[in-house]
Amino acid sequence: MTSDKNSVPSFDQMIKPTLEALKELGGVAKNDSIDQKVIEIMNLPEDIVTIPHKNGNCAEVSYRIGWARTYLKKYGLLSNPSRGRWELTEQFDDNIEYDEIPEILNSLATS
């Protein structure tokens, strides 16, 4: 089966799994660990995970998870204390069933 970039979940669909991944990883993790945990949580098949991003330096899935992290950082739920290292902030109330994803997207689109 051949997959294309349209088969990859959008970055906003990866926001909740990214929070869940960081929580499962103890609240602190590096990019690769977060990516692998999100892929596991979302049960993404290998043919989706291996689709390259247009520049070829990373997979499209990793690129979109990166955007999910960026949005979560801008909203204050994650911090990035050093290159490639992410932490849940005190603002994250441990609620994986996070219902504020539309609010996150809207607040950042208007800022």
Share of the chain above pLDDT 90, in %: 66
What DSSP element (H or E) covers 101? helix 101-109
pLDDT at residue 92, rounded to an integer: 87
Question: What is the per-residue DSSP string for 2-37?
Answer: ---GGGSPPGGGGHHHHHHHHHHTTTEEEHHHHHHH
Structure tokens at 24: 């499962």
pLDDT single digits (tens) 31-45: 999 999 999 999 999
Q: Answer for the pair 9, 42: CB distance below 8 angstroms, yes or no.
A: yes
- The single-letter DSSP state of residue 53 is P
3-class secondary-structure state, position 71: helix
What residue ranges define each of the domains in the chain, with the CATH number in brackets? 7-109 (1.10.10)
How far is the C-alpha of 98 from the C-alpha of 105, rounded, in Å?
13
Q: Answer for the pair 23, 96: CB distance below 8 angstroms, yes or no.
A: yes
How far is the C-alpha of 104 from the C-alpha of 102, rounded, in Å?
5
pTM for the whole structure: 0.87
